[in-house]
Amino acid sequence: MPRLSCWFVRAALLYLALGFTLGALMLANKGLPLSPAIWRLLPAHIECLLLGWTVQLIMGIGFWILPRFQGQRGHEAPAWAAFWLLNAGVLLAGLGATLALPGWVIVSGRLAEAAAVAAFAVHAWPRIKPVGV
């Protein structure tokens, strides 16, 4: 597995653990009300699991298994940019919403996530071709 895929998959697993823990806290809080403040974890739970886990795992495995040409994965810089942008975005948007930080924090997180998707597409697009072309 290439080094970037290791980073993606390890980060994805951390977000999976964190996202499930936050979900479990909210679930427990439904049966045994601990504090209404626990509901503030919902945006972080969603951010961790939908982007931090799912999208990150897909990018990590995609970088690994998409077709290589002459043994190369093409331009790796945009894929590395996708990794840093996605993680910055999840942190900014997740913490911004949970800690009720100013709106621009959440907006910049969302922009970083969108830029991560664009950067990954720039990397992956040339690798997506039919056999023999």
The per-residue DSSP string of the chain comes to --HHHHHHHHHHHHHHHHHHHHHHHHHHHHHS---GGGGGGHHHHHIIIIIIIIIHHHHHHHHHHS--BTTB-S--HHHHHHHHHHHHHHHHHHHHHHTT--HHHHHHHHHHHHHHHHHHHHHHGGG---TT-
Of 18-26, 70-78, 89-97, 112-120, the window that binds ligand HEM (rule: CB under 6 A) is: 18-26
Residues 43-62 that bind ligand HEM (CB under 6 A): 45-46, 49-50, 53
For ligand HEM, the closer CB: 46 or 61? 46
Asked if 34 is part of the footprint of ligand HEM (rule: CB under 6 A), the reply reads: no
Closest contact distance (angstroms) between CB of 78 and ligand HEM is 26
**Where does this chain bind ligand HEM (CB under 6 A)?**
20, 23-24, 26-27, 42, 45-46, 49-50, 53
